[in-house]
A and B are shown apart, each in its own frame.
Chain A
Amino acid sequence: MKLNYLEFEQPIAELEEKIEELRNVGTDNEINISEEITRLEAKSQSLTESIFSSLNPWQVAQLARHPQRPYTLDFIELIFTDFDELHGDRYFGDDPAVVGGTARMEGKPIMVIGHQKGRDTKEKVRRNFGMPRPEGYRKALRLMEMAERFRLPIITFIDTPGAYPGIDAEERGQSEAIARNLMAMARLRTPIICTVIGEGGSGGALAIGVGDRVMMLQYSTYSVISPEGCASILWKSAEKAKEAAAALGITSERLKELGLVDEVIDEPLGGAHRNVDRTAEVLKATLVSALEQLEAMPLEELLAKREEKLMAFGNFTIRTK
Chain B
Amino acid sequence: MSWFEKLIPSKIRTEGKHKKNVPEGLWTKCADCNAILYRVEVERNLEVCPKCGHHMRIGARKRLETFLDPEPREEIGDDLEPVDALKFKDSKKYKDRLTQAQKNTKERDALIVIKGQVKNVPLVAAAFEFRFMGGSMGSVVGERFVRAVNTSVENHIPLICFSASGGARMQEALFSLMQMAKTSAALAVMREKGIPYISVMTDPTMGGVTASLAMLGDINLAEPKALIGFAGPRVIQQTVRETLPEGFQRSEFLLEHGVLDMITDRRDMRDRIAGLLDKLGYSTQKS
Which residues on A sit within 8 Å (CB–CB) of B213?
A: 179
Which residues on B sit within 8 Å (CB–CB) of A235?
A: 90-91
Shortest distance between the CB of A299 and any CB in chain B (Å): 15
Question: B178 touches which one: A230, A313, A319 (CB < 8 A)?
Answer: A313
Shortest distance between the CB of A29 and any CB in chain B (Å): 54
Interface residues of B in 163-177 (CB under 8 A from A): 168, 170, 172-177
User: B-facing mask of A169-204, CB < 8 A → 1, else 0?
Assistant: 111111110111011101100000000000000110
Say yes or no: is A154 at the interface (Cβ < 8 Å to chain B): no
21 intermolecular pairs with C-beta atoms under 8 Å apart: A166-B239, A173-B258, A175-B210, A175-B211, A175-B230, A178-B211, A179-B214, A180-B215, A180-B216, A186-B181, A203-B180, A203-B230, A206-B178, A206-B180, A223-B173, A225-B168, A230-B170, A244-B90, A310-B178, A314-B140, A318-B81
Contact A319 B81 (CB under 8 A): yes
Question: A314 touches which one: B108, B179, B191, B208 (CB < 8 A)?
Answer: B179
Contacts A183-B191, A258-B175 known; 14 new A-B pairs at CB < 8 A: A169-B230, A170-B230, A172-B257, A175-B230, A175-B259, A178-B211, A179-B180, A179-B216, A187-B189, A225-B168, A234-B90, A248-B170, A250-B174, A316-B140
Main SS class of interface, B: helix
Measured CA separation A248–B182 after assembly (Å): 20
Contact B79 A171 (CB under 8 A): no
Which residues on A sit within 8 Å (CB–CB) of B244?
A: 167
Contact B143 A316 (CB under 8 A): yes
| Interface residues in chain A, defined as those with a beta carbon under 8 Å from any beta carbon in chain B | 163-167, 169-176, 178-180, 182-184, 186-187, 202-203, 206-207, 209-210, 222-225, 229-230, 233-236, 243-244, 247-250, 255, 258, 260, 307, 310-311, 313-321
The answer to whether residues A179 and B170 also contact, given A170-B231, A307-B185 and a CB cut-off of 8 A, is no
Chain B interface extent, by class: 35 or more
Measured CA separation A184–B174 after assembly (Å): 21
Contact A179 B184 (CB under 8 A): yes
Select from chain A the residue with minimum beta-carbon distance to B178: A313
Measured CA separation A32–B230 after assembly (Å): 64
The answer to whether residues A170 and B229 also contact, given A203-B177, A248-B173 and a CB cut-off of 8 A, is yes
Shortest distance between the CB of B261 and any CB in chain A (Å): 12
Measured CA separation A244–B192 after assembly (Å): 40
Shortest distance between the CB of A272 and any CB in chain B (Å): 21
Which residues on B sit within 8 Å (CB–CB) of A250?
A: 173-174
Contact A184 B188 (CB under 8 A): yes
Question: B216 touches which one: A183, A310, A318 (CB < 8 A)?
Answer: A183
Select from chain A the residue with minimum beta-carbon distance to B208: A203
Shortest distance between the CB of B247 and any CB in chain A (Å): 12
Say yes or no: is B8 at the interface (Cβ < 8 Å to chain A): no
Which residues on A sit within 8 Å (CB–CB) of B239?
A: 164-166
Q: Which 4 A-B pairs rank lowest in CB-CB distance, beginning with the nearest?
A: A165-B231, A314-B139, A186-B185, A182-B184
Say yes or no: is B187 at the interface (Cβ < 8 Å to chain A): yes
Which residues on A sit within 8 Å (CB–CB) of B170?
A: 224-225, 230, 233-234, 248
Shortest distance between the CB of B53 and any CB in chain A (Å): 25
Which residues on B sit within 8 Å (CB–CB) of A315?
A: 83, 85, 139, 172, 175
Measured CA separation A176–B232 after assembly (Å): 15
Contact A163 B230 (CB under 8 A): yes
Among A203, A235, A307: residue with most chain B CB under 10 A: A203
Shortest distance between the CB of A163 and any CB in chain B (Å): 7
Say yes or no: is B142 at the interface (Cβ < 8 Å to chain A): yes
Measured CA separation A233–B235 after assembly (Å): 11
Measured CA separation A304–B41 after assembly (Å): 52
Contact A178 B230 (CB under 8 A): yes
Which residues on B sit within 8 Å (CB–CB) of A173?
A: 215, 257-259
